[in-house]
């Protein structure tokens, strides 16, 4: 598996050369690797001073200096220096060792899509949960049920928007698994943080879109929610924003349990402040900042307005007025969700840079 082998012990070079020649080199020194033994383990045991405190390394060092392999390398180095630095540059190898950000992005995107497809906890379990909950919600608010009034539809819109977003915390364990690989690659100068973050987000988009499409079809069909395409766009952007929040928490916290706790706390706060439990006009002044901070606010307002404005009855408009949502700019709210997700992604890059980018070895 290895072409070349370097063995160091206590700061001294014990072997440097072809891996296939290592056994013969130590054999000439009188050390024979036992049959059925792993040569690598044998070499480590042979020269590691942790196993032999009185081990003398001089015989190994002198034997290496007197062998032909180091002499050959010295001749090659001297010859290459005479040829000049430009002839030493292997541009194909350089491109392979330091790929462009676009190449990094392409590889990472392919890796993320493959992992999301194969990992049941990242994608398929979430699809199943969203389908079951959407089916339950849709059949609970079945359009043929004449007992369901317009005011009873408000909790449906709140639940679809708030709880489906809340379930995004399920993505955190997988994000924390990826971060260990990210740290190694960044510290090795092999990866740019922008490529990683963008690939992470775009790699999650197909799954988020598929989940939103399934949930929208089920809920809109069974409960007869108005404006399917607006519902789908709103739910998709809400899930993208919540996924971006998980990316930020995944970059900041040391353990996924802490991330889940923080994410649940933030989403719980946003649910309280979004204007469903307490309408905006009744929210105490000292908590109104939470109303504007919560991205749930812009999603819930849009769900409410798109549905009840198309019901277009006096009861529906009175309901919107009671929540202070009779004049909602849905397009503006969708742009706010896009901007919210972008800010969270940039914050995630900043956190990763502070943690890993500044301390490259």
pLDDT digits (tens, 9 = 90+) for 98-118: 667 788 888 888 888 888 777
**Token pair of 157 as six digits:** 């819109």
Q: Where does a domain end: 42, 67, 89?
A: 89
**Token pair of 209 as six digits:** 């879109």
* Residue 10 clears pLDDT 50, i.e. is over it: yes
pLDDT tens for 20-36 read: 888 888 888 888 888 88
Q: Where does a domain end: 61, 89, 117?
A: 89
* Residue 301 clears pLDDT 90, i.e. is over it: yes
Same domain, 184 and 326: yes
CA angle 165, 170, 174 (to 5 degrees): 135
Give the integer Cα–Cα distance in Å for 324 and 115: 44
Same domain, 227 and 262: yes
Residue pair 283/273 in contact by the 8 Å Cβ criterion: yes
* Domain-embedded: residue 96: no
Does the global pTM surpass 0.85? no
* Residue 77 clears pLDDT 80, i.e. is over it: no
Dihedral sign, CA of 146, 149, 150, 155?
Answer: negative
Same domain, 73 and 110: no
Average pLDDT, the chain: 84
* Residue 94 clears pLDDT 60, i.e. is over it: no
Q: Where does a domain end: 89, 122, 154?
A: 89
Q: Could you tell me which residue, 268 or 72, shows the higher pLDDT? A: 268
Same domain, 113 and 80: no
If phi > 0 it is left, if psi is from -120 to 50 it is alpha, else beta; for residue 38 that is beta
As a whole number of Å, the CA-based R_g of the chain is 31
Chain position carrying tokens 């004049």: 327
**Token pair of 298 as six digits:** 């812009």
pLDDT tens for 161-179 read: 888 899 888 888 888 877 8
Same domain, 166 and 242: yes
Give the integer Cα–Cα distance in Å for 310 and 326: 12
Same domain, 159 and 266: yes
Give the integer Cα–Cα distance in Å for 70 and 68: 6
Q: How far is CA 301 from CA 158, 183, 248, 298, 338, in A?
A: 10, 40, 25, 5, 16
Same domain, 324 and 256: yes
- Rounded to an integer, the average pLDDT of 247-274 is 90
At 293 the three-state DSSP class reads helix
- Rounded to an integer, the average pLDDT of 240-254 is 90
């Amino acid at each position: 598996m290895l072409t070349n082998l370097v063995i160091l012990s206590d700061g001294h070079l014990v072997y440097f050369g072809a891996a296939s020649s290592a056994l013969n080199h130590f054999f000439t020194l009188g050390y024979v690797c036992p049959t059925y033994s792993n040569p690598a383990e044998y070499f480590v045991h042979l020269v590691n001073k942790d196993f032999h405190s009185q081990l003398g390394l001089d015989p190994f060092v002198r034997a290496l200096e007197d062998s032909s392999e180091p002499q050959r390398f010295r001749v090659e180095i001297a010859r290459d220096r005479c040829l000049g630095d430009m002839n030493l540059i292997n541009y194909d190898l350089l491109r392979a060792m330091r790929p462009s950000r676009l190449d990094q992005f392409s590889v990472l995107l392919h890796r993320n899509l493959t992992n999301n497809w194969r990992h049941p906890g990242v994608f398929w379990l979430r699809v199943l949960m969203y389908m079951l909950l959407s089916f339950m919600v849709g059949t609970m608010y079945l359009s043929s049920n004449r007992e369901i009034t317009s005011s009873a539809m408000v909790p449906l819109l709140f639940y679809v928007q708030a709880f489906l977003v809340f379930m995004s915390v399920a993505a955190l364990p997988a994000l924390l698994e990826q971060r260990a690989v990210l740290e190694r690659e960044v510290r090795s100068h092999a990866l740019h943080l922008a490529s990683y973050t963008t690939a992470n987000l775009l790699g999650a988009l197909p799954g988020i879109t598929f989940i939103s499409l399934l949930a929208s079809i089920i809920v809109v069909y069974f409960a007869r929610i108005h404006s399917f395409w607006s519902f789908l766009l709103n739910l998709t952007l809400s899930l993208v924003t919540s996924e971006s929040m998980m990316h930020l928490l995944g970059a900041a916290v040391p353990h996924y349990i802490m991330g889940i706790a923080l994410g649940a706390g933030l989403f719980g706060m946003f649910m309280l402040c979004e204007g469903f439990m307490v309408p905006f006009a009744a929210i105490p002044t000292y908590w109104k900042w939470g109303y504007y901070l919560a991205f749930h606010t812009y999603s819930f307002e849009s769900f409410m307005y798109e549905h009840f404005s198309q019901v277009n009855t006096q009861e529906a408009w009175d309901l919107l007025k009671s929540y202070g949502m009779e004049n909602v700019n849905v397009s503006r709210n969708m742009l706010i969700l896009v901007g919210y997700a972008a800010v969270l992604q940039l914050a995630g890059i900043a956190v990763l840079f502070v943690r890993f980018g500044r301390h490259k070895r």
